[in-house]
Amino acid sequence: MMTRWTFLTRIGKGVIVAAGVVFLGTLMSGPSLAAEYKEEETRVLLSRLKDSKHSLVDGISQAEKAYGIAISAKFEMKGENLMLSVYTAKEGRNKDAEHNVLMELLGDATKPTWEPEIEVFEDKPHIARSAMHLTLMQVTKLALVEVIKKAAAVQPGTVYSVIPAVRDGKPIFGVLVATPDGKSVPLTLDLRTGKVIK
């Protein structure tokens, strides 16, 4: 009998395999197309951040008032629109993915009031991704707002992405900061302490 946790585990493996296939395909076809597209996408995003009426902290704080703990947050482009995205776990960090409601709040960041649309995840990739984010948030006492403040104290600029992850076998927060001169600086913070890992 397949439990939901087993299901999520299998989903996670499937996502990893799929990601590996995509990555291998990119290597075989050469880095130029994928790299150029990603660089262009990032360039556009960085140029638009100044148009946002809200910070990541604003979005996280608003989301957590009604939709549980924030487990990741970022700015992204959706067509021509600058969007603010926050993933949450409505039942908090003390309930695992099987007994939680994992969702995304996504809304236009350039409007005076952030009015996000709410999606409860049902598709495999989003369930797998958000379940991993929740699991990592369960092993730290830090909130995303604290992580953002720690990153901002180290690197001046606008924090535009904060996502828990596993890197080289260690749980970390991957943070991206847009500098005043329009560059993107990645920071890696220890998941448990919030200290920058060099």
Amino acid at 154: V
pLDDT at res. 96: 93
Between the alpha carbon of residue 162 and those of residues 15, 28, 32, 69, the distances in Å are 21, 30, 27, 14
pLDDT at res. 38: 84
pLDDT at res. 22: 33
What average pLDDT values come out for the chain (198 residues) when binned by 10 residues? 41 38 35 57 96 98 98 97 98 94 98 98 93 97 98 97 96 97 96 92
Domain boundaries, given as residue ranges, for the chain: 4-138
What is the residue-wise DSSP string for 9-55?
HHHHHHHHHHHHHHHHHHHHH-SHHHHHHHHHHHHHHHHHGGG-SS-
pTM (2 d.p.): 0.81
pLDDT at res. 65: 97
